Structure 1
Amino acid sequence: MQTVPKITLKQLAVFVSIYQTGSTSRASEELHLSQSAVSSALTELESRLQMPLFERVGRRLNQHPNAHPIYIQAQAILGQSLTLEHYHQYQAGQIHIGASTTIGNYVLPSLLGKLYEALPDANVDMYIANTQEVVSEVEQLNIDIALVEGVPRPVDMKVIEQREWRTDTLMIFAKRDSKWLKNVATYSKMRTVIS
């Protein structure tokens, strides 16, 4: 069974504030907590970590050598918790779109224009590469939707779903007496599938 850490976000926020402001009184003002609550949170954190973070010299707090590496980690944890807190709001407007090179360069721009008209606050992240690379990104769940040419061969059909989206007729250009035009009926039926 995994052990649940006993360090709290409040303790980390108090520590970061003290580290940045240099005093418990300024940290208590910044965090809207009593000075005793700030001092208590710092003492609890030091107890949990089993190391001092500040050296108390009279009423002053001097950073202990342990403080800086803990400060870096505490900032990262608080940043991640803030991101998690706003996860739904962020995800609601975040769209990861992948496209093969031709579609990404020639078809996607107009589609994105329509998307931004409908959802002006959308945050679109695009990934343009060859078809197999784009499909691989979908399989790894890095992309929400991909627009590619041809029929890709996904590694895991349980993870992604394929649907035909558009068809595109290929055009042949050749000189009038070209041998390539002898079977023009066959060529005119060729189509590429964009899925």
Structure 2
Amino acid sequence: MRYSFRQLEVFLAAAHYENITRAAESLSMSQSAASSALRDLEQQFDVQLFDRVGKRLQVNELGRSLRPRAEALLEQARELEAALSGQSSFGHLKVGATLTIGNYLAVGIMARYMGEQAGATVSLEVANTATIAGKVSRFELDVGLIEGELHDPDLEVFPWRDDELIAFCAPSHPLAQCERLTDEDLLSATWILREPGSGTRQTFDRAMHGLLPELNVLLELQHTEAIKRAVEAGLGIGCLSRVTLAEAFRRGSLVPLPVPHRDFQRRFYFILHRQKFRSPGIERWLELCGETG
């Protein structure tokens, strides 16, 4: 074999950090050793995997095409090593989830996953749909759980479970007593919304077609709890996933606003890189997610 797993690790770390010093630090290597490993890999096959711009390494077209295969090869090598050592093949799983899913659904799945296999661990990153998709695309996350529609040729998107958004307000709000909201009500209201780039905002914008330019949006916030607190304080009305509002509706601190003529239905999705090796851990995670659908 004309390459080593260490060379592949350096290649992947350099592609991730775009800097050989940071790549070396991530692998507990010296900068000179990492540089030598990457140089030897390229010279052995007479190829160039990066465009060098000052101290920055930008992976080129050949490097991008090889990256998923190198990722898969190293993942399988880790599984083989774990099996030979008599350890769990599930290992460490890197999961990304959008805010609604991460805060209200993913933690229970994590508990089941780690409870099944001794030594299995999960790191969970919570961000909006655009951020999670980007990290899955760059192999920084093994799997993503998102609430927005996505079209990316590098990613596979699988439907997971149905969801819907609910408009809501504080019990003291003037609209709280309305049996149903009209378009005039929607236009006269002050809105507290999720930020652009989130799956929730994507669904809201689609549902409000024809009204968007005229809506009075007071605040755009990244966190659902901040939106709920602002609405409870009487600053306006909001629109979030039913999953995030169930407890507040039970307490009576917020009340739903029926908008039957607007379609707030949506779906949650799994996303994986098309060339990502599906380890037993990834497969089991997806199975557990499916059981919560």
Structure 2 length-normalised TM: 0.34
Higher relative contact order (CA 8 A, sep 6+): 2
Based on CA coordinates, which of the two structures has the bigger radius of gyration? 1
Structure 1 length-normalised TM: 0.49
* Larger strand proportion of the pair: 2
